[in-house]
Amino acid sequence: MLKFDLKNVMQAYEAKTGLHLTYEELAQMTSISSDTLKSIATRPEYNATLKMISEIATALNIDPTKYFEWKMDKNGKE
């Protein structure tokens, strides 16, 4: 499963800018609800759309390709 690592994105943003960003603040910067952002960050099975990832990347001025990870499930399947 391909996963977008939003937690790592937000940590990198804080390290780069010195500003701690909450899901609510990121929601205000994008058209994505804070509940959806929390799901992207915490639910491995949640599939963020490319539009969502693009909005996050634009709002935070990041290269989204650096924040994807490939994970197998507990049975070793993709």
Q: Domains of the chain by range and CATH?
A: 2-70 (1.10.260.40)
Residues in the chain with pLDDT values less than 50? none
Output the pLDDT for position 71. 76
Q: Characterize 23-53 residue by residue with b for buried, 16 or more Cβ atoms within 10 angstroms of its Cβ, and e for exposed.
A: beebbeebebeeebbebbbeeeeeebeeebb
Residue 49's identity, in one-letter code, is T
The two tokens of residue 69 are 């990870």
pTM of the model: 0.86
Output the pLDDT for position 2. 86
Per DSSP, 37 falls in state H
